[in-house]
Amino acid sequence: MTVFEKELGELKEKILRMGAVVEAAIRDAVASLVERDSDLARKVIENDHKINALDVEIDEECIRLIAIRQPRARDLRFITTAMKITTDLERMGDLAEDIAERAIELNEEPILKPYIDIPRMTEIARGMVRDALDALVKGDTELAMDVIKRDDEVDMLNVQVFNELLFFMIQDPSTVSRATRITYVSKYIERIADHATNVAEMVIYNIEGKMIRHLTPSQKQ
């Protein structure tokens, strides 16, 4: 194994580590809402700087590898893709922070209804994040395609949550402030799944050079 191969392996590991931290932030943010645990929410907010630091660290490492190793073709494409992917991961971290902020607000008021669809959406979104990064590291386009397909489920659940909460608001306008905040949480999770989809599309683009990023949903099937 050359030095550069070793460095590339370490870069991949670092990306997976960042993914694991982001995934944990998403899990904890939603748990802080479902379990009404505002201390946990505050921990998510405080820990966001770790995700940001990993983003900068990976970015710097990529720049260094390009400058010093002068990688060509496949490796260069992998490194530039990695730089874009960590930007998506960093934004997922910001969304986890947004969820935690809404959780703190919601935990101060009486519970509106038990959370059912939101934990379901979260599980799907977290699986998408994990698999998109696995697909990157293993170069597995089929897994990446599968991630893209799952995005529809999250979108549907988000619409379902929105409609249900709208019904609450119309029936009883005193629920508006709480219900609105819950629709925001649902929307944040949907956006996390969108970022995972973006990552998966970039993985495919990176491996196959195909314009999957820019196919219409029906063409993707």
Q: Which of 38, 47, 87, 160 binds its own copies (CB under 8 A)?
A: 87
- Other residues' Cβ atoms within 10 Å of the Cβ of residue 107: 17
Count of chain residues binding its own copies (CB under 8 A): 32
- Listed in sequence order, the DSSP H helices in the chain are 3-34, 38-69, 73-107, 117-138, 141-171, 176-208, 217-220
Q: Map the footprint of its own copies across residues 33-52, applying CB under 8 A.
A: 49, 52
The one segment of 98-106, 108-116, 134-142, 206-214 that binds its own copies by CB under 8 A: 206-214
Q: Which of 170, 208, 217, 220 binds its own copies (CB under 8 A)?
A: 170
Handedness of CA 137, 140, 143, 147 (dihedral sign): positive
Q: What's the Cα-to-Cα distance from 146 to each of 73, 149, 153, 221, rounded to whole Å?
A: 26, 5, 12, 10
Any contact of residue 17 with its own copies (CB under 8 A)?
no
62 versus 192: smaller Cβ distance to its own copies: 62
Q: Which of 62, 89, 196, 199 binds its own copies (CB under 8 A)?
A: 62
What single string gives the DSSP state of each residue in 44-61?
HHHHHHHHHHHHHHHHHH
CA distance 90 to 180: 25
Q: Which of 24, 66, 112, 145 binds its own copies (CB under 8 A)?
A: 66
- The SS3 call for residue 139 is coil
CA distance 8 to 62: 9
Q: Which two tokens stand for residue 118?
A: 């939101």
Q: Which amino acid is at 66?
A: I
Q: Which two tokens stand for residue 111?
A: 């519970």
Shortest Cβ 91–its own copies spacing (Å): 8
Q: Which of 83, 137, 143, 145 binds its own copies (CB under 8 A)?
A: 83
Q: Which two tokens stand for residue 62?
A: 């990529």
Q: Map the footprint of its own copies across residues 92-151, applying CB under 8 A.
A: none
Q: Map the footprint of its own copies across residues 147-166, applying CB under 8 A.
A: 162, 166
Q: Which of 10, 211, 217, 220 binds its own copies (CB under 8 A)?
A: 211
Q: Which residues bind its own copies (CB under 8 A)?
A: 49, 52-53, 55-56, 62-63, 66-67, 70, 72-73, 76-77, 80, 83-84, 87, 90-91, 162, 166, 169-170, 173, 176, 180, 187, 198, 211, 213-214
